[in-house]
Amino acid sequence: MTPLWIAIALLLLPALWLMIAPMRGARTLRDQLDHFEANDTADEQNVAIFKRRLASLEAAYERGDMDEERFKEDRLELERSLLEDTATRTKRPLKTATAGRLAVPLVMVAVVGASTFWYQQNGAEGDLTLYAIQQEVQNDPDGSLAMYLERMEAEAMRQPNNPNVWSSLFPLYRETGQADKAADALERLIAIEGRIPPLLAQLAQLRFFMAGRELTPEVQSLVDETLAQDPRQPTVLGLLGIHAFDNGDYETAVDRWRRAVANIEDPDTASSLREGIRVAQERLGIAPETAAVETAQSQGVRVTVSLDEALMDNVSDDASVFITARDMEGELPPLAVIRAQVSELPMTVVLDDTAAMSPQAQISQVRETRLVVRVSQSGQATPQPGDLFGDLESVSVGTISEDDAANVVIDRVFE
């Protein structure tokens, strides 16, 4: 941490220099003020102005421009003004050029102390320590996962309230097969960060596998709490798909996994879920290429998606493709979403209620839909500048037919 404190000291030096700078010109400024006061002629100027105004007033009285009473009042006002201008000019002696110098080092010490204290309370010293440990282990030829875990456990004792410590320990415990410690680390992280859906979902998944892939009351409670906050949480949807598959409910497994794929960003995980969907469809006795049609609800849209040849060089084969159906007014969440990859194009998919993201927004609830297909190199669900897209307005929703498909060509770039 020595380089950090050296950097902080270098940042403080300009502030300390600004505090000392006025002292360097104190003697010169004091001499200038002393010279000014010694040669101040303000009183003489005030008296000269009084005499000129009084002479003008007397001349007006002699010409008869004013009566005696008015003359006396104006003269009294002039005398009062002169008295005020001269009586308030009581000069205080100037202080020496070295006056107050003892306060400067005290203020400097206070600035340094306050800055250090603030950084220790609100700075990222702990996170820098974690980064230094990670780099040290990576650069050490003898470094190992066990060594890294030991160092992180020591930091957990030193920084029990740092969420980055527990977010690092959780995957380490999970990878080394220490499920109980992984769950404890995740619960500590939840206690610090709050009960947010991604963390609750990971805890539910961990507890689910610890219980032998069973939906225990504890796991079910975590699942319910997560879905109440985020009905599209992919980790929980994937968990529910596994449970349904293990119990032979392949249609439910396909539904849960398809909804998870629509919201997941990791391409490897999405590929695994798609493989699970294929196996579940085979267990249903339906050929995978036609399973979407056979298992679909009565209402939906069959869509053929292709990529314009002019844009093929703009994206890689593993870029994500989001095929979405929306209501015409744009007031509801997406009615159906399927996620694929550019390498699968051209492709034909079915958007129906099994691809819905929420029970409150399904494609069977509308008569017409707007189809939007977007290619995301980053894999993010929200549109980003540079994404490719294509859309088709006013597509009728009805009974799905193999002979009738809406064609959407990805031919534009999102600005």
Which amino acid belongs to residue 140? Answer: D
Q: 325-378: per-residue pLDDT in tens?
A: 998 887 778 888 888 888 888 888 888 887 877 767 788 888 899 999 999 888
Which amino acid belongs to residue 216? Answer: T
Q: 127-165: per-residue pLDDT in tens?
A: 556 556 566 555 555 556 677 777 778 877 887 888 888
Q: Which residue has the tokens 């292709």?
A: 306
Position 294 pLDDT exceeds 50: no
The residue length of the chain stands at: 415
Range 235-242 contact pairs with CB under 8 angstroms and sequence separation of 24 or more: 235/198, 235/201, 235/202, 235/204, 235/205, 235/260, 236/201, 236/204, 236/205, 237/263, 238/205, 238/264, 238/269, 238/273, 239/201, 239/204, 239/205, 239/208, 241/273, 241/276, 242/208, 242/213, 242/276
**pLDDT confidence tier of residue 291, bands split at 50, 70 and 90:** very low
Say if CB 374 and CB 388 are below 8 A apart.
Answer: yes
Say if CB 346 and CB 248 are below 8 A apart.
Answer: no
**pLDDT confidence tier of residue 267, bands split at 50, 70 and 90:** confident
Q: How far apart are CA 238 and CA 258, in angstroms?
A: 9
What's the distance, Cα to Cα, between the start and end of the chain in Å?
44
| Overall pTM surpassing 0.75 (yes/no) | no
Question: What pLDDT does 292 receive?
Answer: 47
Span 285-314, average pLDDT: 71
- Tokens linked to 389: 């897209």
